Amino acid sequence: MALQDIDPVLVMERLCFATPWSREAFIGEVRDNECAHYLVGETAGRVVAYGGFWRVLDEGHITNVAVHPDYQGLGYGKILLDALLRRAAELGVVSATLEVRESNFRAIRLYEKFGFEPAGRRKGYYADNGEDAIIMWQRDLENIP
């Protein structure tokens, strides 16, 4: 992800998330956060997916994964998550974690396909409705399914 990708990313943020990140947050991630690694997925010159992770020592924390609603169900999420995890492994990350809404069954199934397993719950994590987050871990990025 580069600074010029932020406008289409913000569109996806608003379409995909109840509490979207701000422009300033993405600028800070792309420009200033040395731990942050973000990718975009494009088709026909249009940004249709994005995701990112923070590398902290040998762990990765997936911060965002989103696919524009017009392109959901077409495999972009799988391609993006695969690229994120492989990039993390290239950087020496051996395990990765993320939080996902307990009601987001589509995302949970995708994460499970990549070896993520539920490891806990964050009660009331989502400010918009108080929904719990499921904490998931993938502890062996050397063997991504």
| 126 secondary structure, DSSP code | -
Q: Could you say which of 29, 111, 131, 142 is catalytic?
A: 111
Q: Which domains does the chain have, with CATH numbers?
A: 3-143 (3.40.630.30)
Contact 141/95 with Cβ under 8 angstroms?
yes
Can 34 be counted among the known catalytic residues?
Answer: no
User: Residue written as tokens 């397993």?
Assistant: 117
Q: How many CB atoms sit inside 10 A of residue 141's CB?
A: 22
Q: How many CB atoms sit inside 10 A of residue 8's CB?
A: 16
**What pLDDT, on a 0 to 100 scale, did the predictor assign at position 105?**
95
Q: pTM for the whole thing?
A: 0.93
Structure-derived torsion over alpha carbons of residues 42, 14, 5, 64, reported in degrees to the nearest 10: -80
Q: Could you say which of 13, 76, 99, 117 is catalytic?
A: 99
**What pLDDT, on a 0 to 100 scale, did the predictor assign at position 78?**
96
> pLDDT per residue over 81-102, tens digit each?
999 999 999 999 999 999 999 9
> pLDDT per residue over 101-112, tens digit each?
999 999 999 999
Q: Is 49 exposed, middle or buried (0-12, 13-18, 19+ CB in 10 A)?
A: buried
> pLDDT per residue over 133-145, tens digit each?
999 999 999 888 7
> pLDDT per residue over 21-66, tens digit each?
999 999 999 999 999 999 999 999 999 999 999 999 999 999 999 9
Can 59 be counted among the known catalytic residues?
Answer: no
